[in-house]
């Protein structure tokens, strides 16, 4: 629990809304109330904490900041769920596209495949170039997607965080996290593309 004086509240207000000078100009040093800021280790115990602190002398009311930003969180949750749905649909579409591309490639190289069979090449040896091609496509897609995400970090997220308005609402993206995301995207992209290519070839190249 921290004690916030009127001066502290005013300084924090000026910092948060430094990009809105008109709003800052209309708020005086004595406008914002003195308060105590309590951060719970277990947010589910809010009702018990509110019932305890509201009885303290000098406490006018206990404000749950979650209620103040609940609508914003609801909007962000809606966007997140919509993004997950779009990502899922795009993932399925990408797998189908990879499968279709592999089928076209296998059909266009059917003469080479026939020659490889005649010389005794195994099914895995015949499938390997197509699987590698799918894996490279997955690698390229993962890198392009990561570069897009990196651009969103510098052009959108960092600017929103620098404004101070969304501090604590939008999580920060540090470079280490971005590198970890790149590794995950490459692993998932290459693996899914290779598996999709191999699974498609099982039906395209007859044993």
pLDDT in tens, 49-64: 777 767 776 676 777 6
Q: With 70 as the cut, is the pLDDT of residue 100 above it?
A: yes
Per-residue pLDDT at 207 = 46
Q: With 60 as the cut, is the pLDDT of residue 168 above it?
A: no
Which residues have C-beta within 8 Å of that of residue 6, sequence separation ≥ 6?
29, 30, 32, 33, 34
Which pLDDT band, with edges at 50, 70 and 90, does 6 fall under? Answer: confident
Q: With 80 as the cut, is the pLDDT of residue 206 above it?
A: no
Per-residue pLDDT at 44 = 66
Q: Which residue has the tokens 């602190």?
A: 53
């Amino acid at each position: 629990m921290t004690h916030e004086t009127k001066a502290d509240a005013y300084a924090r207000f000026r910092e948060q809304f430094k990009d809105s000078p008109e709003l800052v100009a209309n708020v005086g040093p004595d406008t914002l109330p003195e308060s105590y800021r309590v951060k719970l280790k277990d947010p589910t115990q809010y009702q018990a904490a509110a019932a305890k602190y509201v009885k303290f002398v000098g406490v006018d009311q206990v404000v749950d900041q979650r209620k103040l930003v609940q609508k914003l969180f609801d909007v962000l949750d809606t966007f997140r769920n919509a993004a997950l749905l779009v990502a899922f649909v795009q993932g399925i579409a990408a797998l189908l596209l990879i499968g279709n591309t592999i089928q076209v490639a296998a059909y266009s190289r059917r003469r080479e495949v026939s020659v490889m069979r005649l010389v005794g090449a195994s099914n895995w040896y015949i499938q390997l170039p197509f699987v590698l091609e799918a894996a490279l496509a997955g690698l390229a897609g993962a890198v392009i997607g990561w570069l897009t995400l990196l651009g969103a970090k510098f052009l959108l997220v960092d600017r929103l965080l620098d404004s101070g308005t969304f501090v604590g609402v939008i999580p920060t993206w540090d470079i280490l996290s971005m590198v970890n995301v790149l590794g995950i995207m490459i692993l998932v992209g290459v693996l899914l593309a290779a598996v999709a290519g191999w699974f498609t070839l099982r039906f395209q190249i007859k044993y």
